[in-house]
Structures are given as C-alpha cells and as structure tokens.
Amino acid sequence: MEDKQLQKNEFVREKIKDKPKNYKRLWIKLLTAAGCGIVFALTAVLVMLFMLPTLHGKMQENMPQTQLRDSQTDDTQDTPAETQSEEDTQETQTQNKEFTIDDYQKIQTQLYAIGNLANKSIVTITSVVSDTDWFNNSYEREGQGSGTIIGDEDGKLLILTERRIIKDASKISVTFIDDTVAPAELIKYDGNTGLAVLEVEKTKMESSTLSVIGVMSMGNSNSVHKGSVVFALGSSVGTNYSFLTGSITSTSNEISTEDCNYSVYTTDIVANKNGSGILINTDGEMIGVVMQNYSAASTGALTAVDANELKEIIALLSDSKDVPYLGVHISTVTEKIANTYGIPKGVYIKEVEMDSPAMNAGLQSGDVILKIDDQDITTADSYTEAVLGLTLKETYSVVFMREGSNGYKELTCDIEAGILK
C-alpha cells in the first residue's frame, strides 16, 4: 500500500532542469541587428551627402531676407515695456496740463461761432391784437416770440413758431437777423401741439436781408443722449436772439397729448416759462422745439420736444393742411403688459377727450385699438402714423377690444377725423 502511494507521488520529488541555452542562435541575432544598424547608418550618410548642396543653396537664398526682416522688426517695433512707458508719459503730460483762461476763451469762441451761424435762421415774431377795454374803447396790444426759418420754396419763406404767439392777431410781422421787418401770414396751426407755420413773401424783403439769412436744417435725434452739448436759440429766457449753452440731462421723459406721445429733452439751461425757440446740436442742426407748456417738470429748466417726432405735423402745416384729430390719450400694450394684466396687445386708450371724434364714435377709456381702416395698430407710434394719414371728413372703421363680464370682446365702430381748434 505504501509502495503504491510512493509511486503515485513520485513526480513531486522530480527535479525540473533548465533548458540548455543555444549560444549559436544568440550570436546570429546579434550579428543580424548590428548589420541592419550599419546599413541604416550608411544609407543616412549617403542621403545627407546627396541633399547637402540643395539645402545649402536654399539657406543662402533665405538668409538675407530673414535677417533683413528681423533687423527691420528690431528697429521699428518697440518692446511692450517701451510702448507702455510712452503711453504713461503721454497720459502724465495730459493729466498735468492745465487749461488756461485762453483755452476756455477759444472753446467759448467756437461755441458762439456755431450759435451766430444758426441765428441766421432765427426771427422775431410780432403780433398785433385789436381789443376793447371796459369802456368799449378800441386799442391794440403786441405780443412777441421767436420763430425759425424752416423752408424756402415758391418765392416764400416758411417760418415755424407757436400758435400762442400769434393767436387772434390781426397783423403779424417778422424781424430778421439784420433788423429788417417784413409782413407775414398764417398758413396753418395745430391745436394739439400748438405749432404754427407762417409764410413771408420774398418779394417784400430786402435783397440784403436775403443774403444774410439761412434755413435751419433738421438734426438726427438718434445721436442725442444724456450729456450731449446743446444750444438754446430764440427767446428761451424772454430775450430775442439769446444764445444759451448747456447739456441734455434727460431723454427719458415723455408727454402724452391727444393722439400722440412725444419725447421731451430736459436740459440744465434755465428758461422762462413763456420762453420759445429751438434746441440745436453742435452741428447747428435743430433737434428740439422749445415748448415750455410741455415741460415734464416744474424746475424752470428748459425743455424741448424731439423735433423729429414733429416732422410730419410740420410738413402738413407747411403744405397748408390741417392735422387730423381723433382725441384719445394712448399707450402701447406690450407683450409683457399683456401677459401680466391679461390685456390684448394693441393700443390702450387711457382717456377720451370730451366732444372729440373718438367720443362721438363711442370709444371709451380701457378700450384697446387693433385696427384703423385695415391698418394694424400695434404701438402708439403706429396709431399716430395712421391718424396723421387720415383725410378730414372721411369715415373710417375702427376695430377694438372692450372688456366685459366675460372678458374682452372684439367690436367695431365708425369714426370721422376732425380738427382740434
């Protein structure tokens, strides 16, 4: 039994011998590797010998240009440290420079040069009103204000002014920059904005006057911002041909009038509450019309309505056309307002003027206008544009939304454009 067990485990006691090394094969591998290395080295040397002349020629061609460019770069290009040093020096010189009285005088002279040139378009309006006193005695009273020459066409000068200056006048005269006087006639006025346009026949003017006056050009209101330098011309402080400098302090104010909302510029220029005139930019262009009755604040600061927003009305008056009138105060219903308050998008009626075409048509405060005669009304500007395009005495269809017990309901009414006297 034990013999069988020993025979069964005999393999455990067997000694495993290492496989004998084949030195011949090892030497063959080493010699083969060395031969390949020698062949590779010889090949590389031959290639380099073959390519060396070509590479040398290329280097000779490129060497002068590269050196020249590097030399020019080194000569003309300052290091960042040098550039920074020069900038610091210039900044220090600027900071250390003190403005003298002569410097201020030069600036003031340049500003007044702009004003003197623009004043060629400014005139003084004198109106004569006939009246009677308590004892029924007749007398005449005069009123004065400023005006601006805005056009020269068909042998006539067109002059923009305010209606209050020439209201009920039996006689109107215009005094130009050279103190000559010529008679004027009213073309049209707008009862809403209070603007009026006069005309003066050039045949009734001196030739010398025609050579010194100028026509005011319209400026771009998009370039007007808080801090913009502006000049007030006219009689903003009650003195004719006054010239005041200042800056815009606010462009965010807005005035809501019948059928239109106007942007109002507020300045740091002190003005009379009865002042009139215009606001110009540093290019001598009109950017605002001084109308103190539209002042957004009772601070005594000069305010002016954006002239670009008055262009269509001025054009109608210049063409001897009345300005259409419906008689509502409006605001735009934006998407945010619509979502917040559940109001339909369109133009919201804040107020309806008494005895206006809108009231006669049945429109009410709280209505939202959607269309005027097939023209979509989405903003206050689109409403104003539509109204100014209406023809007087014509009847138009107005589509609007009105809130009821079950929400808003679409309604339609007919309206006839009128005139605000």
Same domain? For 266 and 333 the reply is no
Domain CATH for 350 = 2.30.42.10
Exposed/middle/buried for residue 128 (C-beta within 10 Å: 0-12, 13-18, 19+):
middle
Instruction: Tell me which of 151, 179, 212 is where a domain ends.
Output: 212
Question: Is residue 26 in a domain?
Answer: no
Question: Is residue 49 in a domain?
Answer: no
Instruction: Tell me which of 271, 300, 318 is where a domain ends.
Output: 318
The pLDDT score that the predictor gives to residue 260 is 95
Same domain? For 228 and 308 the reply is yes
Same domain? For 268 and 334 the reply is no
Report mean pLDDT in 10-residue bins for the chain, 421 residues.
Answer: 48 47 59 62 56 52 44 48 54 64 86 91 94 84 93 96 94 96 97 96 95 95 92 84 90 92 92 86 95 63 93 96 97 95 96 96 97 96 96 95 94 96 87
Please give the backbone phi and psi of residue 356, each rounded to the nearest 5 degrees, phi first.
-90, 160
Number of structural domains found in the chain: 3
The pLDDT score that the predictor gives to residue 68 is 39
The pLDDT score that the predictor gives to residue 87 is 54
The pLDDT score that the predictor gives to residue 88 is 55
CB environment 345-382: b (16+ within 10 A), e (fewer): bbbbbeebbeebbbeebebeeebbbbbbeeeebbbbeb
The pLDDT score that the predictor gives to residue 15 is 47
Question: Is residue 137 in a domain?
Answer: yes
The pLDDT score that the predictor gives to residue 354 is 96
Domain CATH for 184 = 2.40.10.10
Question: Is residue 298 in a domain?
Answer: yes
The pLDDT score that the predictor gives to residue 101 is 87
Angstrom distance (rounded) from CA 306 to CA 286: 9
The pLDDT score that the predictor gives to residue 74 is 47
Q: Which residues constitute the domain of residue 282?
A: 221-318
Please report where in the chains the tokens 């050579």 appear, as a residue: 211
The pLDDT score that the predictor gives to residue 24 is 59
Chain Cα centroid distance, residue 160: 24
The pLDDT score that the predictor gives to residue 72 is 46
Please give the backbone phi and psi of residue 122, each rounded to the nearest 5 degrees, phi first.
-95, 140
pLDDT, one tens digit per residue, over 312-356 is: 999 999 999 999 999 999 999 999 999 999 999 999 999 999 999
